Structure 1
């Protein structure tokens, strides 16, 4: 099947025929008459180069032996300066050196011997031009693909910039929303504290607890580096832990929990659940509400409302119970007798492992010492003794008050034998049992050791 030129060509390929014999040129021109080519003729290499300088040529077929510039030299020059032009050598002599030069330097496409066969000549030209067209199309497609890739790269770069810019905008929006949400959470903290102050108005000043519990919890969070979310939840829980008590009578509000009668005691046990129910509808309060729900659970599982035990009690609830009981013991809301801060801590230490997390108690005592200047229990040199354990030479570490609040002895008082006897007698007369916070000088400590 004969090779056909592509039908998509919009122009006639230009052929330049070069030979110093005009008869050869005329024969070739007659052969190509009627073919879809534009045929140009040149009788020398110099003339051929003049023509090529004036217009693009698709194919050059040159005779090998010509005066001044032979065909191999001409085709080599064309290869160097017009590499897209197809080159064919036409010769009637077996000249190996000329053929080798044409192949090596002229990079010829085909070699045709004289005399030629017309059909073979036409087929060779069609195949050469078809190959040239397909190669040009391949190069065009390669270039087009490269151009498209470059455009795609530019589009991708532009898209990446747009995406980066949009991502930055979205990130800024998200950051603003986060800030707004954090500000909302902080506003909730402030709001809960304000509301807790209003709730405290139900109690006389001597019975109010929330402000001190909030401050104590904050000191703990700060000293232990708790994260902002945990600190926020604990602060809100401390502010509103007793909101479920607002429906109580004034009398019940100020009565120590140990003195409540049966019906009131059941109502008392329900206040954590009531507090949690009031707060659960507020999304930022949900975690704080859970801490409030379980802050009356006990380490040994005897607490309420769910009788949780040990580590099953949320950490924040265990800490909140310590803070609540520490302050409420001093306000007379748990026991009938109001304790001082050291007595409250002695009580908490006594019930470590039963009511309170034993691993938190000593740590909590240190926090209380950092929070309150009158806490002496954290000092390792301070001992808590009964009146019958006192000996002369011991020094009171804090004021000693009777159960009715009357000051008996000032902190710093050095005890002597008669004073100790008076304290024992007064304690028996009052049917009381005092906890005495004393410092023991080294010489007294040494005497005690020798006696023992």
Structure 2
């Protein structure tokens, strides 16, 4: 389809069957640096509207064949946004009313006109027409942007749903394959943590730090062993829901995300709960992860729970998570741990339970120094040695399987992986059995 021809833009169109009047109008408007086209008859004016755009049309009321009211009525479909000014040489209220009703005029001026009033009316009309055009452009732009955002949200939601289903399927298969061990939390937990640690955009060390601090807080406030274990596992798996999402949502700092993507990011605890549903023995851990963004004063998400209604392990996880995030963000000189704790203390009694912050302040905090949890360790291709056994199938950055679970590394496979790794911005994170 051919693009429509671009019309020449002129500010004012003047129509009058009196040539002297037209020349007088033209001289006046040009003297004020306005661009002008003229027509001796309404039909000529309609033809000009086919090839030009105008901000203002000035038209005489009394003309042969077609009066100003009928002319303006015909322009409504051709140029609805133009500012319409009627010139009348008669004190005829009926003709003016007709022009208002039929032609939707915006102003009328009697002949002989006052130059100042006419110029003021024209300038006002030019300004209003320009605003209308600008509004239409903005509306069109906003509509296009909204459509793009809607499409992006749909794509992200579909991707999250697809990956959630995939991870739930894997988890279900693990549960079925390890039926005799389904009540041994540690086995399933180690497998899930290794999924997180193998992701190049998620921080396994950070997860270890959060888990260790969660466990220490739980011990410090006197929880039983079951809840201490739950708090530690919730710390390790707090990011599990992000595995179902596009890396763009979590490899960028959350505060830098657009608002629509930020909302999707904060659904990762809900996604985690869906993913962990087949592992019924991890129900309490998934509840802690699901409620990790609740606030002590009831202003959090997803349920707006308050005080004792929030699972204690969820409140512990929130303190440990935000403490280590604050440690990462500290830029001032001095003790990073003290600075991070000071930041959290600002929200004591609002975001966080005061007693949990007291417990955190009493701890001796240390950073995790390795990437090994339970039965697996994580290595890059450069760290591989002959005879090592692959704990989980290794895939490339596009999801294509490179080596199966149980592969025993030799010189050839190590060299090939090192060659592939050299071409990528991030090293492989290879799960090796201890």
TM-score using structure 1 length: 0.38
- Larger-Rg structure: 1
TM-score using structure 2 length: 0.39
The answer to which structure, 1 or 2, has the higher relative contact order (CA under 8 A, 6+ apart) is 2
